[in-house]
Amino acid sequence: MSRADGANREDGAVAGIRSAAAGTATGGAGANLLALRSHNTALVLDLLRTAGSDGISRLELAERTGLTPQAVSKITGRLREEGLAAEAGRRASTGGKPRTVLRLVPGAGHAVGVHLDRDEARVVLCDLAGTVLAEARSALHLGAGADAVVERTARQVEELLPGARGALLGVGVALPGPLDHARGVLHRVTGFPEWDGFPLRDALARRLGRPVVVDKDTNAAALGLAVAGEGGSFAYLHLGTGLGAGLVIGGSVHRGARTGAGEFGHQVIRLDGPVCGCGDRGCIEALCLAAVARGDLAAAARVLGTGAANLVGLLDIDLVLLGGRTVAAAPGEFVRGVAAVLAERARRKGTPGDPIPVRLAAGGSRGVAQGAAQLMLAPLFGRRDG
C-alpha cells in the first residue's frame, strides 16, 4: 500500500485543497493546476487581508501557509503585478536582511452590500479590506411590489458606485426569511405573498448589469463576523423582531442544501408549551419574545441560553455571538444570562477546558450590510459555502 504516503498528514493542513477546484469542468471535484494556484492565491490574499495595515512578510506567509518561501514569492509577485498587493516598508532586522512587509491594496476591488430589513434598506460600499467607504439608508416598503423595490435598490446602489475607483466585484443582498441562496430566489416574505418565489438575484443582476448574490440576513451577518476575524466555528444568534441564527463551521457559513440552516427561532424547547405564530408549541422565539414583552429579560436570556446550549452541544462550536435590536437594548443582561446557562451545562457534563465564551457581536446595526458585501468579497479569500 504505497498509496498511504500522501495520506499521513496533520489535521490543520489536511483541510487544504477543497475550495480551489476552479478551472475544471462543471460536475465533480477534481482539481487541476489552475485550481491549485487559485487556492494558494486565495490563501495568501486572506492572510494579507487579515494582517491589515500592519502587513505581513513573505516568510511569515510561507510559515502560515506551509508553502515554500519561493512559492510565496511567486504568488505575491503575481498579486503585485495585478495591483492587489504592495510592499509596505520593512521589519526590524534580526541580524540579517530585514523582511519586506507586504499588504493588501484595499482599493483594488470593491463590493456593495445591501441589507433589506423589514422597514429599512441599507446599502454600503466596501473595499477589499471590508472597510465601508460609503453608506446610504432609506425607508423600505415591501408592499410597493418587487419591481419597485428592485428599481429603487438599484438606484441606491448606483449612487454609491462613484466611490469605487477600483473594479466592482458585484452586489450582495441580505434579507430575512426563507430563500434559495444558490438560485437567488425568495421563497416567502412574511406579510407580502406577492413576493413568493421572486427571483431577486436575477432581477437585480439584470437591472444593474453586475453579479448579484442573495442570502439570509443572519448568514450575511455571520459571514461578516467570520471575515472580521472570529475564527473557528461559531453561532451568531440574532434576536430582533424574530430570532434566527447564522452558523459558521470551520470558517465557512453553513447554509445546508436548501439555504435552510440556522432555523433557530422555531426550535422547540418546551414541549406542549405556548402556541407560537408558526403554529407549533414551545418555540424558542415565542418563549423568548414573550419574556421580553413582559420585561423579564432574565427569563428571556435563560430561554435563549438553553437554545444556545443545545446548539453548542450538538455542534461543539467554539463561540456564541449575540446580536439584533433586542439584544442591543440590554447586551449585558443577555450575554451574562446566556453564558450562565452554557457554563452550568458545561459544569454538569464535566467536559475539560474552559466553557464556550459568549460575546456581543461586533458590527452593530451595519453588520448585516457589511456581511452582504462580503458575500461577493469572501470568495476571493477562499471562503466558500460550508
Contact with a copy of itself (CB under 8 A) among 50, 52, 59, 67: 67
Beta bridge partners of 136: 123
Residue among 25 and 257 whose Cβ is closer to DNA: 25
Using CB under 7 A as the criterion, what x/- string covers residues 82-101 for binding DNA? --------x--xxxxxxxx-
Contact with DNA (CB under 7 A) among 50, 52, 73, 310: 73
Binding partner selected for residue 169 from a copy of itself, DNA, none, CB under the kind-specific 5 to 8 Å limit:
a copy of itself
Given the rule CB under 7 A, which of 73-81, 201-209, 259-267, 363-371 is the region that contacts DNA?
73-81
Binders of DNA in range 13-42 (CB under 7 A): 24, 31-34, 36-37, 40
Binding partner selected for residue 1 from DNA, a copy of itself, none, CB under the kind-specific 5 to 8 Å limit:
a copy of itself
Contact with a copy of itself (CB under 8 A) among 171, 317, 321, 342: 317
User: How far apart are alpha carbons 358 and 333 in whole angstroms?
Assistant: 12
Residue among 74 and 137 whose Cβ is closer to a copy of itself: 74
Given the rule CB under 8 A, which of 199-207, 274-282, 329-337, 363-371 is the region that contacts a copy of itself?
274-282
Q: Check residue 349 for interaction with DNA (CB under 7 A).
A: no
Contact with a copy of itself (CB under 8 A) among 112, 222, 303, 358: 303
Binding partner selected for residue 77 from a copy of itself, DNA, none, CB under the kind-specific 5 to 8 Å limit:
DNA
Give CA 74 to chain center in angstroms.
Answer: 30
Q: What is the DSSP string of 200-235?
A: HHHHHHHHHTS-EEEEEHHHHHHHHHHHTT--S-EE
Give the H/E segment covering residue 179.
Answer: strand 179-180
User: How far apart are alpha carbons 356 and 53 in whole angstroms?
Assistant: 31
Q: Check residue 182 for interaction with a copy of itself (CB under 8 A).
A: yes
Binders of a copy of itself in range 129-148 (CB under 8 A): none
Q: Check residue 50 for interaction with DNA (CB under 7 A).
A: no
User: How far apart are alpha carbons 203 and 206 in whole angstroms?
Assistant: 5
* Residue 362 beta carbon to DNA: minimum distance, rounded to whole angstroms: 32
Q: Check residue 162 for interaction with a copy of itself (CB under 8 A).
A: no
Among 341, 244, 327, smallest CA distance to 283 is for 244
* Residue 79 beta carbon to DNA: minimum distance, rounded to whole angstroms: 11
Binding partner selected for residue 54 from DNA, a copy of itself, none, CB under the kind-specific 5 to 8 Å limit:
none
User: How far apart are alpha carbons 355 and 133 in whole angstroms?
Assistant: 38
Binders of a copy of itself in range 68-107 (CB under 8 A): 71, 79, 82, 84
User: How far apart are alpha carbons 311 and 123 in whole angstroms?
Assistant: 32
Residue among 99 and 115 whose Cβ is closer to DNA: 99
Q: Check residue 313 for interaction with a copy of itself (CB under 8 A).
A: yes
β-pair type (167-175, 109-116): parallel
* Alpha-carbon torsion, ordered 73, 75, 81, 82, to 10 deg: -160
Using CB under 7 A as the criterion, what x/- string covers residues 117-146 for binding DNA? ------------------------------
Binding partner selected for residue 137 from DNA, a copy of itself, none, CB under the kind-specific 5 to 8 Å limit:
none
Buried b (16+ CB within 10 A) or exposed e, 22-46: eeeeeeeeebeeebbbbbbbbbbbb
Contact with a copy of itself (CB under 8 A) among 126, 142, 171, 311: 311
* Residue 19 exposed, middle or buried by CB count within 10 Å (0-12, 13-18, 19+): buried
Contacts of range 156-162, beta carbons closer than 8 Å, 24 or more positions apart: 156/114, 156/121, 156/123, 157/112, 157/114, 157/123, 157/208, 158/208, 160/112, 160/123, 160/124, 160/125, 160/134, 160/135, 160/136, 161/112, 161/125
Given the rule CB under 8 A, which of 64-72, 95-103, 146-154, 222-230 is the region that contacts a copy of itself?
64-72
Residue pair 217/117 in contact by the 8 Å Cβ criterion: yes
Report which residue type is found at 116: L
Binding site for DNA (CB under 7 A): 24, 31-34, 36-37, 40, 57-59, 67-71, 73-75, 77, 90, 93-100
